[in-house]
Chains A and B, each alone.
Chain A
Amino acid sequence: MTIGVVVFPGSNCDRDVHWALEGCLGISTRFLWHETTDLSGLDAVVLPGGFSYGDYLRCGAIARFAPIFKSLVEFVDRGGRVLGICNGFQVLTELGLLPGALTRNRDLSFICENVALRVTSSRSPWLQARSCEEVLNLPIAHGEGRYQCSKDTLLKLQDDDSIALSYTTNPNGSIADIAGITNSSGNVLGLMPHPERACDPQIGGIDGRVILQALIG
């Protein structure tokens, strides 16, 4: 089993995902430079946090044109699991693999803290090991994590049971307290909290492990 971790020039959580997977969970990984198109031999792909291409225009707006994404879209179409964390979530919405968009936090400043999240749906493979309403504690660290979408999209997300995680106390003004969503088939998960930061008892608990374990499960 090997998990691909996409690396943009401005990724800064790529090594963290690598550490969480290999160092904490014993799952092997392979870094994927954004210019590669070869996803062969991978069981799942993680888009880590960071600032992909500097994100001066809009988070993830430039990243979506990276060569790797043609292969990634095919990978998703074949049912491959893709996890987008923070900036990775932003890129997934820019790519259209997930609906909606992420905008500046309500209070306009960056927020780094540990938050409580409610498992809103355990339909997808990502959270099927947890039951609905269960609470996970995960760190957030973002300036543009306010999830926004149209009313119709929100209804569809709810109808499809695609809202995976929501904040118990909304830190950034996201619509319907949304912290993470899946696509309708459930193989793509995008979330603003950082599960890789909660895999290691020494620094922040282990509530994130369930999500990373699902990459191989």
Chain B
Amino acid sequence: MGLKTLLKELFNWSSTSYKPRIEDYDVQQAIKDEGLTLDDYMEICRRLKRIPNRTELGMFGVMWSEHCCYRNSRNLLRDFPTKGPQILVGPGENAGVVDLGNGHRLAFKIESHNHPSAIEPFQGAATGVGGILRDIFTMGARPIAILNALRFGPLEDKKNIGLIKGVVEGIAHYGNCVGVPTVGGEVAFDSSYTGNPLVNAMALGLMETDSIVCSGATGIGFPVVYVGSTTGRDGMGGASFASAELTNTSLDDRPAVQVGDPFLEKGLIEACLEVFKTGDVVAAQDMGAAGLTCSCSEMASKGGLGIELDLDLVPAREEGMTPYEFLLSESQERMLFVVKPGKEEEIMNRFTRWGLRASVVGRVLKENVVRVIQNGSVAAEIPASVLAEDTPINDHELITEPPSYIREAWNWKETDLPISDLTGISPLNIKFKGKYLTWTDILLYLFDDPTIASKNWIYKQYDYQVQLNTVIPPGAADAAVIRLRPQDSNNSLSSINQGVAAVVDCPNRWCSLDPERGAMAAVLESSRNLSCVGAEPLAITNNLNFASPKNSTGYWQLAMACKGISTACQFINTPVTGGNVSLYNETRSESGDLIPIQPTPVIGMVGLVHDLNNICFPNWVNAGDLIYLLGVPLEKLPQLDNRISLGASSYLERIHGLQTGRPPELDLNLEVIVQTFIRKCIRKKVICSAHDLSDGGLAVAIGESCIGSGLGAEIHLNHCDVRIDRLLFGEGGARVIVSINPLNIKEFKQLLIDNQIPSEEIGFVTAEKELIIKHGNVKVVHTSIDKIKMNYLEAIPRRMV
């Protein structure tokens, strides 16, 4: 519909006596600039019963972006399970909060900073960390840990090396400076992320205030206080920018990337926690995406009240800023409070002591409106509910059949692979030029895959020890474990015995070939990781990184992944407490094709460690310990098990150059039984080690347990006619390897029987630093641990030069 018709309709539509002004901006252009549609504009006019001025239109632009209002995904997020006795705060606040018992409450959330990191990796990643930390301490919690999930294109491309270096340095700069340990994460590489890396940061915090600080404004006439850094022109329109695809001209959007100052954030954390403890702050909201606009309208809308904001009182970094610039700036390290009358001075003094700005910038209104004043006149006035509630939803048609690329992939069969014999195979990947590789060669190649290899090069740059509670540091086990030691109380060494475990996970290759199974697997593997360190899974936060929902495949991927998350979370009782949706993760190549990322629904899961004396690592402990495979057993012909697959496996991709096939079926029942059993064994100290089988299957998992311990292993696979590559490298859920001291074997076997756990003794730990896998009497894998360790440790550093 043309603009004239639109305006005509508006005049006719409304019977109110309000006379719309003819505004001095080009409506078509302005709509485009704000990333809105003509329909949105009409809706805005209808709701306002007039034409918005340019500033107001900008406010709608950010508030109605995917980043702020989930306009493409809200329908799909509704089915997430969000309730449970352990959930104190679910989705909708700055962060979720779970009850850990013993008075401990944990706030946690994940958020993406993908697009900023694509064009300015250092600041993009740094401010991503800053933003997620603010979400945590805004609730009254002291940040105690950071994790991150990263995706890059292959390191063979120099551009990707530049990106990973910048991103890691940015995360390190912010996290290290602000004094919050970066304790874990995951990194994977795939060509679909070239040009559109993913940077998802998760933070955990321990509540220090008696009541959780929420964001809804209360108290008519109460002062609104602005604290933190000054407002400048940086980060203008970041939320709208984040909600569009990346193109060749995206580099011109660099001003939309903010610059962070972790030193200010450190002061902000301390000052905020100090004032929250006084009880004089009745509501708080950090200024993240969409800055002042978002914080004002969220606070007003959630409280059912209004906010009046006087821009002349907002500490400005530069002169001559327009209301539009004030309202859309995404300058970092800023927050907005509603405080009790008479307490403003005291609160502001706390902030100035930390070298921060603080000023009263407005007040709470009875009427549900966001009113912005500059130079004594109204620059914008919008009912808060109009901006923040009942925001538009983009309807997308959900295709009923999987898209053709998926159907094609699912037709792939193992029999399409060359014959696999007892010693090896001639891979299809042209890079091997038809050369015959032994299974040992292949295992060594897999350990050289940066996705499987050690991430030491990365986490060594993070201060993972500060705060002195990191019990399991990054890379040391299947999940990180942080000791629960509140900093605001006097503890002694003997009085603290509980911990929190955290993990982030997403098998993106599986997700691309079956988003529903892939997303389920992300949840199940997260909880398996927690179980393997001895933690009881409690809840998740998720970061849904997807391509454009405008494309039917993109929307189908998103919908299927959400379905998978709901099913798995429901089943294992880990509700969703919130998260982030990042769409339009695609790049336009020079030839004009759109390259979407692999669907990447990252799961961040937290769990409780009841007793820090009972935690478990994946490393072998004693030579002579017996190695068991629990869960889905090794196969024996004629029965092949759909719960194990070479389809979508690391082996298929790295060795045969194929990203195809269907990921395995997931056995939810068995998953729960096995995980519960592992936790029980750890609690009873019956097992010495536990390690989840993931990328690269059984052989890689065994190798990892060897690398970490410096001990070897001898594994015996019964002779059978199942393909050797399937036995060694097939992937699937509900599988864990454990090692048991022979002294405990009787008790262990009894537990296996009592709990009806499918299990198989597959070998033993050796003092010789060698990994031997025998099939019947034939050694199919034989290598020194030093060799696989070298590949494992050097895979990333050697590609960085």
Contact = CB atoms under 8 A, between A and B. Distances in A.
Contact of A9 (B267, B466, B487): B267
A10 interface: yes
A13 B612 contact: no
A19 B463 contact: no
Contact of B493 (A24, A53, A204): A24
Given A10-B177, A24-B493, A112-B465, A203 B483 contact: yes
B756 interface: no
Contact of B491 (A23, A139, A143): A23
A113 interface: yes
13 contacts: A9-B267, A9-B354, A12-B177, A15-B487, A16-B468, A19-B468, A23-B492, A24-B493, A109-B169, A112-B464, A194-B465, A197-B468, A203-B465
Contact of A203 (B177, B179, B471): B471
A53 B263 contact: yes
Interface of A: 9-10, 12-13, 15-16, 19-20, 22-24, 49-51, 53-56, 109-113, 139, 141, 143, 194, 196-197, 200, 202-204
A196 B468 contact: yes
A112 B461 contact: yes
B472 to A, nearest CB: 10
A111 B466 contact: no
Of B178, B460, B465, chain A has the most CB atoms within 10 Å of the CB of B465
Contacts of B267: 9-10
A203 B263 contact: no
Given A9-B355, A197-B468, A204-B465, A110 B493 contact: no
B468 A22 contact: no
A10 B266 contact: yes
Contact of A54 (B176, B263, B463): B263
Contacts of A55: 263
A110 B487 CA distance: 26
A203 B470 contact: yes
Interface in B428-469: 459-469
A189 B460 CA distance: 26
B263 A141 contact: no
Contacts of B461: 109-112
A11 B176 CA distance: 11
A49 B469 CA distance: 16
Main secondary structure of the interface of B (DSSP, over half): loop
A204 B470 CA distance: 9
A10 B267 CA distance: 7
B463 A112 contact: yes
B490 interface: yes
B261 interface: yes
A73 to B, nearest CB: 24
A197 B465 CA distance: 8
B172 interface: yes
B493 A200 contact: yes
A23 B467 CA distance: 13
Contacts of B262: 51, 54
Contacts of A204: 465
Contacts of B261: 54
B463 A110 contact: yes
A16 B179 CA distance: 10
Contacts of A13: 179, 466
Nearest to A7: B270
Given A10-B177, A19-B491, A113-B460, 8 more contacts: A12-B179, A23-B492, A24-B493, A54-B261, A110-B172, A141-B466, A196-B468, A202-B471
Contacts of A202: 471, 483, 493, 612
